[in-house]
């Protein structure tokens, strides 16, 4: 079974293959079927399919805020 990497928004990841600009760290700005990355060094944006990013991932340089799954909020619930 493939291991699912817990990517988060605002994660800073270090990839095995450096960008042509010389930087190897990227910030995750979009999560989806494809994951959007911005090069920390030059600001270039790329989209990579998740499996490709998982293969290239070397380590997390910094983690974004943990996403806490909220229980289904009651519609229209406000301060009591």
Contact letters for Zn ion, residues 29-68 (x by CB under 5 A): ----------x-xx-x------------------------
Identify the H or E element spanning 59.
strand 57-62
Interacting stretch for Zn ion, rule CB under 5 A, among 13-21, 29-37, 51-59, 60-68?
13-21
Q: How far is the CB of 4 from Zn ion (least distance, A)?
A: 27
| By the rule CB under 5 A, 14 interacts with Zn ion | no
> Is the Cβ–Cβ distance between 66 and 43 less than 8 Å?
no
Q: How far is CA 45 from the centre of its chain?
A: 13
Quickly tell me which residue has 């090069």 as its tokens. 39
């Amino acid at each position: 079974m493939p291991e699912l990497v817990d990517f988060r928004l605002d994660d800073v990841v270090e990839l095995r293959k450096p960008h042509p600009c010389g930087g190897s760290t990227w910030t995750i700005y979009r999560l989806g079927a494809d994951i959007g990355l911005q090069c920390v060094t030059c600001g270039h944006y790329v989209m990579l399919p998740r499996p490709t990013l998982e293969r290239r991932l070397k380590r997390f340089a910094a983690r974004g805020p943990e996403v806490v799954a909220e229980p289904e909020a009651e519609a229209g619930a406000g301060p009591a």
